[in-house]
Structure 1
């Protein structure tokens, strides 16, 4: 389970005296706990690994955006910290599919659903997320789906 791996890495980082890695793993565990609390109030029955993966993907996306903003603003010292956190987060994420593999999956789902235009984009995106949500960056997949359906 991803949650257990993050906790084990946090303990290892603490024992090694790696303050940056300890802080990053603490942030991950805090976000996971926040999501657990949120889902408890909604009475959701989602799989723990799916929830954790969603949390990690959101954190990674936030870090990428921060890195881009810091670098465009000339704040390389802040960018370096975000890059370190991103590297720790990506260690726990499942391997992401390449753009070519994603395009192939989209073509398969498009054929299976009989999608033939932009009106079917929601159906294709929903099916793609349901089947491969943890393996695909959905923001990039959106552009690929648009291309495939136009």
Structure 2
């Protein structure tokens, strides 16, 4: 079942259950997917967002909400921070399980070996390999420095 179908099915169920918070968050997800569809519309007749794109959208939405929750906490708005965390929980239902530190290190080693990367100039190849294989399963902002260290130290 595609990611888009899973989100739409969950949206319909939230409507039936009259779950306002869940429904609101799922509508935001659908809107983000449709925005991306519109953005790629001119690229061809079959253009549209696939599962990898939906995973990227969901990851971005999660990251935005984490930053917002932090900002709300710093501003003393615990109620708004809690709402952001509830949205994160709903969004994360559609994301694959996040990899642990050991699994990430193993994936980085594997990607470096597979691409034959030997210097920092090959970082783009390694990151592309990781993004192709592990989209939604790791935070690439945190993985970048690990790849850089691996390539600099060998």
Structure 2-normalised TM-score?
A: 0.88
Is 24-33 or 125-134 further displaced after alignment? 125-134
Secondary structure, counterpart of 1:125 in structure 2? helix
Q: CA deviation at 1:120?
A: 1.9
In 2, distance between residues paired with 1:12 and 1:77? 26
User: What is the rounded CA distance, in whole Å, between the counterparts of 2:22 and 2:116 in structure 1?
Assistant: 47
Q: Which moved more, 1:75-84 or 1:110-119?
A: 110-119
Aligned to 1:103: 105
Specify every segment of 5 or more residues in structure 2 that has no aligned partner in the other structure, as ranges. Answer: none
- The 5-angstrom pairing of residues 31-50 of structure 1 reads 31-43=32-44, 45=47, 48-50=50-52
Partner of 1:88: 90
**Displacement, 1:45?**
4.7
CA–CA distance in structure 2, aligned partners of residues 3 and 131 of structure 1 = 19
Q: SS at the partner of 2:14?
A: helix
What is the rounded CA distance, in whole Å, between the counterparts of 2:116 and 2:50 in structure 1?
A: 32
2:130 to 125, 128, 131: 128
CA RMSD in angstroms comes to 1.7
Structure-1-length-normalised TM-score? 0.90
SS at match of 2:93: helix
Tell me, yes or no, if structure 1 residue 30 matches structure 2 residue 31.
yes
Alpha-carbon distance between aligned partners in 2 of 1:30 and 1:83, rounded to the nearest angstrom: 19
Instruction: State how far apart, in whole Å, the 2-side matches of 1:112 and 1:132 are.
Output: 15
SS of 1:65's partner is helix
Q: 5+ unaligned residues in a row in structure 1: which ranges?
A: none
